[in-house]
Amino acid sequence: MTAPSGRWGDLKARLISGLAMLLAGAVAIWLGGTVFSALAVVVTGLLVQELAAMTAQGRLPRAWGLGVFAGAVLAWVLWMHSPFALAALVLPSVLGLWRIGRDRIVWAVYAFAMMLTGYGLVAIRDGLNPPAGMFALLWIIAVVVASDVMGYFAGRMIGGPKFWPRISPKKTWSGTVAGWIGAVLTGALFVVLAGAETRILWLSPLLAFAGQMGDVAESWIKRRAGVKDSSNLIPGHGGVMDRFDALIGAVVMVLLISQAGLLPRFGG
């Protein structure tokens, strides 16, 4: 039996692993609390490990050490539940400066963004009044997924000019715009079903754009490292960083939106 090939060759593995991640994530989001915090800690540790592996010039023990350290720091910050503890989120970036072999600035900035993402996911889910926290988190994930799915199919079915060929050769303008459209439709769905404020309609494509920039940033890092995927942990998706790169950009954007007082309210 020959392996599937062509434009849709990775679709089966992508769907199966995607559904498995969706189920695990949905259960953790529903339960919240310790279960969701534990998932955020594990994912953040894996993200940092993969980033370190791409910038540590093959020093995998160092990469795993930084990943474990990042997970431990995030767990401590979440356990302390104090704004004064947030400064510790920068510690993996600082420690890695002496252990990373190349691209130290890239490492420091992106590792900090990963730590902010892990913390932000938990802060959004459990920091807002229920059920607003769960709705807000579902909105972020839905925008990222809708943007990715519509971009995936539009890019392969329509094709056309590349969005940024030197950095992300597979990303097209048709897929990028389709992602923005998917984000607006997702926002409209939350207006109807979750009573979200209408500002979500213009915030959703902003989140999608931030997510797409997260994807582009990871593509640039992988090209500099000379690798196709951040790892081979997830069939059809590559590594954890390959799957969560857009979420990193989106969550950081939501944190900025929240600081500006523009985070939409739900259930209104």
Per-residue pLDDT for 55 more than 80?
Answer: yes
**Do 86 and 119 touch, CB atoms closer than 8 A?**
yes
Tell me the pLDDT band of 236, cut-offs 50, 70 and 90.
Answer: low
- Measured CA distances, 248 to 4, 24, 128, 147, 162 (Å): 31, 19, 20, 14, 23
Per-residue pLDDT for 32 more than 60?
Answer: yes
Residues 74, 164: Cα–Cα separation, whole Å: 34
Among the listed residues 175, 179, 178, 173, the one whose alpha carbon sits nearest the alpha carbon of residue 208: 179
| Euclidean distance between the first and the last CA atom of the chain, given in angstroms as a whole number | 55
Q: What is the pTM of this model?
A: 0.87
Q: What is the pLDDT of residues 89-120, one digit of tens each?
A: 999 999 988 877 677 888 999 999 999 999 99
**Do 170 and 196 touch, CB atoms closer than 8 A?**
no
Q: What is the pLDDT of residue 73?
A: 98
In the predicted model, what is the mean pLDDT of residues 42-47? 96
Residue 193 makes CB contacts below 8 A (sequence gap 6+) with none
b vs e for 103-131, b when ≥16 Cβ sit within 10 Å of the residue's Cβ?
Answer: beebbbebbbbbbbbbbbbbbbbbebeee
Q: What is the pLDDT of residues 242-264, one digit of tens each?
A: 889 999 999 999 999 999 999 99
Kind plus residue range of the DSSP H or E element containing 18: helix 11-31
The percentage of residues in the chain with a pLDDT greater than 90, rounded to a whole number, is: 56
**Do 234 and 195 touch, CB atoms closer than 8 A?**
no
